[in-house]
Amino acid sequence: MTRVYVALGANLNEPLARIRAAQQALSSLADASSLRHSRLYCSKPMGPADQPDFINGVSVFDTSLSPHDLLDALQAIEQREGRVRKDERWGPRALDLDILLYGEQQINDQRLTVPHYGMKQREFVLYPLADLAPELTLPCGTTLSSLLQQCPLNGMTPLSEQ
């Protein structure tokens, strides 16, 4: 079993419902007792500003899936929840699931980069991650607490409906 952290984000088609469905679907990939979810947050879009705010969170669980099998399973969940892949970077989406960490592994190939390439700068990843693992140290040796000190909330707020 490997401990994995997965970021969840959505801003289209009832985003809270998409996130809740994804959280439930993750249970099929996880060791039964290991699945936990951060609080959910409302955050400003990282890309074009003319789109709705996002709902974001992070889930952690232990899995026996390989990194690429996990990626395939997450993409299948995205597709079931209405994700349409477009060329627009950081555009609106029904559901986005990203592998943040896969144990202590560092992976960089054509399909997958782990740790996730942007996680060190994104408040909508770091703060939910801290809900689950405040003492976390990344495979590169950087502590989550040091990243949080350098990352403002940028208007992100916890969702009142949990």
Measured distance CA(5)–CA(37) in Å, rounded: 10
How many C-beta atoms lie closer than 10 Å to residue 76's C-beta? 13
Distances from the Cα of 6 to the Cαs of 62, 97, 107, 121, 149, in angstroms? 11, 6, 15, 16, 22
Annotation marks residue 109 as catalytic: no
Which of 96, 109, 111, 122 is labelled catalytic?
96
Which of 53, 72, 98, 122 is labelled catalytic?
98
Annotation marks residue 18 as catalytic: no
Measured distance CA(5)–CA(129) in Å, rounded: 8
Which of 80, 87, 93, 111 is labelled catalytic?
93
Dihedral angle computed from the Cα positions of residues 104, 9, 20 and 116, in that order, rounded to the nearest 10 degrees: -10
Annotation marks residue 3 as catalytic: no
Annotation marks residue 31 as catalytic: no
Which of 18, 50, 72, 83 is labelled catalytic?
83
Active site members: 83, 93, 96, 98
